[in-house]
Structure 1
Amino acid sequence: MEGTVIRRVIPSDNSCLFNAVGYVMDHDKNKAPELRQVTAATVASDPTQYSEAFLGKPNEEYCTWILDPEKWGGAIELAILADYYGREIAAYDIQTLRCDLYGQGKNYHERVMLIYDGLHYDALAMSPSDGAPEEFDQTIFMKDGTAGMVERLALNLVREQQRKRSYTDTANFTLRCGVCQIGVIGQKEAVEHAQATGHVNFQEYK
């Protein structure tokens, strides 16, 4: 199997997790509305598993929240989507080089890969060459076949991105509120400012 693992950039529109999953699963970068629905329906159908303690908010409130295109997804949503598609999702974190696996231990035979920079998810794909069009991308890998080799290539790419510091250190990065221009440090302060003011438009600045 010849080729190279590349990062397919997903638009930064707060739905990057869903659209990245849509791309690696279905070659479709516009699946966010559908996959948000899937997530909400899954959570609503099992209030015992998806309790307030698990979700961090009441089940019904979470379902309304995740359907909002402005809201970001994370680990809960990746676990649900891995089960929905019946494939493992490997999410590589550039800053820590960690790989979080969702859908593990379920005997799924295939795996897809995402890359995460602290704020944003992109898709990882195997391409015949760097400049090849997206229709030649392979995004689904057999766990007992190509996944091992692809994993090594993916890790090399993630290490390269880390070397270039292509990530956001969400504990220590500096942001400026786009509304009132106040500076905040880290995700925690940004969240607190957003809750206090309702402002959600932040830009990173160095």
Structure 2
Amino acid sequence: MFISFSLWLYTMEGTIVRRVIPSDNSCLFNAVGYVMDHDKNKAPELRQVIAATVASDPEKYSEAFLGKPNVQYCNWIIDSEKWGGAIELSILADYYGREIAAYDIQTTRCDLYGQERRYSERVMLIYDGLHYDALAMSPFEGAPEEFDQTIFAVQKDRTIGQVDGLALNFVKEQQRKRSYTNTANFTLRCGVCQIGVIGQKECNNQEAMEHAQATGHVNFQEYR
């Protein structure tokens, strides 16, 4: 009997894979675009979605909430040089009507956006301290991206079943390999241009972040 490939992915155990998103300051948006729509070029559209959402509710999205005036934020977020974070992930979870699980490699913490809405589906991202990539379930290592499953049903216990454990094990393995950038504690060196920069040891000491924003380089290593 013929079984469709999507059904095979649902019924058989595959492997969690990290789909790399270009380091162009829009990685969060394009990672979301990939897991939601299998499209790594959604950043301009999703930035506009966020700006429109924020502009439509200035009471909710106040200066106290955004860290800047509503209008200023809307102009800021559509700038392709600006990075996204928790606010943007929360808005995008509601826009798509799906939970977004964002795994932090350094801490293995999972931040879940849209959880309070009790959406019936979930997607997954992975964060290395400076950069977001997409997580997917693949039938085997090296399988083409077209076979990726990126949307998972949320079960009654508010998990996504065995995929939760597979994802956490993958993140722990990435942590073991030190596949993250610790911008809080280390003096760093850019792995691309070899320039030494300082991590965020203090609020005003953000050389690593500034270098990444200016150059698009996100491959940092501990400077020895």
Match of 1:165 in 2: 178
Match of 1:20 in 2: 31
Please, which runs of 5 or more residues in structure 1 have no aligned partner? none
TM-score, normalization by structure 2: 0.83
Q: CA deviation at 1:175?
A: 4.3
Q: CA deviation at 1:144?
A: 1.3
Q: CA deviation at 1:35?
A: 0.3
Please, which runs of 5 or more residues in structure 2 have no aligned partner? 1-11
Match of 1:200 in 2: 214
Q: Deviations over 1:151-193 (max 9, x none)?
A: 10000000000000000112123346999x6743327412699
1:50 to 2:66 alignment: no
Q: CA deviation at 1:42?
A: 0.4
Give the 3-state SS of the residue equivalent to 2:124 in structure 1: strand
Letter in 1 for 2:161: G
Q: Equivalent residues in 2 for 1:91-170 (5 A)?
A: 91-144=102-155, 147-170=160-183
User: What is the rounded CA distance, in whole Å, between the counterparts of 1:67 and 1:18 in structure 2?
Assistant: 11
Give the 3-state SS of the residue equivalent to 1:7 in structure 2: strand
Is the 2:199–2:207 contact (alpha carbons within 8 Å) kept by the matching residues of 1? no
Give the 3-state SS of the residue equivalent to 2:137 in structure 1: strand
Match of 2:3 in 1: none
| Segment of structure 1 superposing worse, 39-48 or 146-155 | 146-155
Q: Deviations over 1:96-134 (max 9, x none)?
A: 010000001212100000000010000000000001000
Is the 1:175–1:186 contact (alpha carbons within 8 Å) kept by the matching residues of 2? no
Give the 3-state SS of the residue equivalent to 2:71 in structure 1: helix
1:185 to 2:199 alignment: yes
User: What is the rounded CA distance, in whole Å, between the counterparts of 2:121 and 2:200 in structure 1?
Assistant: 36
Is the 1:33–1:69 contact (alpha carbons within 8 Å) kept by the matching residues of 2? yes
Letter in 2 for 1:53: A
| Percent identity over paired residues | 74
User: What is the rounded CA distance, in whole Å, between the counterparts of 1:77 and 1:84 in structure 2?
Assistant: 10
Match of 2:41 in 1: 30
Letter in 1 for 2:141: D
TM-score, normalization by structure 1: 0.90
User: What is the rounded CA distance, in whole Å, between the counterparts of 2:107 and 2:133 in structure 1?
Assistant: 16
Q: CA deviation at 1:44?
A: 0.5
How many residues were matched structurally?
Answer: 201
Match of 1:3 in 2: 14
Residues 132, 46 of structure 1: alpha-carbon distance in 2 compared, 3 angstrom cutoff: same
Is the 1:78–1:89 contact (alpha carbons within 8 Å) kept by the matching residues of 2? yes
User: What is the rounded CA distance, in whole Å, between the counterparts of 1:68 and 1:108 in structure 2?
Assistant: 30
**CA-atom RMSD, angstroms?**
2.4
User: What is the rounded CA distance, in whole Å, between the counterparts of 2:209 and 2:113 in structure 1?
Assistant: 32
Q: Deviations over 1:42-98 (max 9, x none)?
A: 001000110000000111111111101111000000000000000000000000010
Is the 1:175–1:190 contact (alpha carbons within 8 Å) kept by the matching residues of 2? no
Match of 1:63 in 2: 74
Q: CA deviation at 1:148?
A: 1.7
